[in-house]
Amino acid sequence: MSPNENGGGKVLIIVGDASETVDTLYPYYRLIEGGFEPVVAAPEKRRYNMVMHEVKPGWTITREWEGYTIVADVAFSEIDPEVYLGIFFSGGRAPEYIRYDEDLMHITRHFFDAGKPIASVCHGVEIPAAAGCVEGRRMATVPKCKFDLEVCGGTFVDEPCVIDGNLVSGRTYHDHGHYMGPWIKMLEEARSKS
């Protein structure tokens, strides 16, 4: 039985409307490159609009443009987290809204409780924070989400790659080249044991 047949190669990518385009597509294609099966998960099984975020010169806040779209393979309510090797929490504005989904909270807690490979970037931190999973954990995130992390008991670290046990995180899409490699390595190690 191949890893993909027994779930050993499936990895969830959590999205919603206004997920950040680069935050989502970079890990999606890196997973394929690594021989994994990325499974896009969202509140419903449909097409989602992504955005591009950047603090432009002369601006003090993030500016947003419309990005590509992505189709969710599965709705949160249909997910059996046991069959997935790891999970990725994409950034953008989506986490602020989808963090109220009880199915997503259950899924998130599973990966933390089971010690499976987890990665988060930018606003992605808002999901494990809402699920009560960041207490005592060190994470990188975009500075404007520092409060979300710290009020839930986590420690903000302003670095491009923070590894805390099974959890790997970065601040923004500018950090993908720093934290994605360690997360892929964790997934490879986990796959070799499945």
Q: Whose structure tokens read 């990005």?
A: 67
Please say whether the beta carbons of 31 and 9 come within 8 A: no
Active-site pick, 123, 174, 176, 178? 123
Q: Nearest 5 degrees, angle CA 106-CA 158-CA 65?
A: 70
**Which of 151, 154, 130 minimizes the C-alpha distance to 140?**
154
Known catalytic residue: 176?
Answer: no
Measured CA distances, 88 to 2, 11, 56, 61, 85 (Å) = 22, 8, 26, 25, 11
The amino acid at 110: H
Please say whether the beta carbons of 86 and 11 come within 8 A: yes
Which residues are catalytic, by number? 123
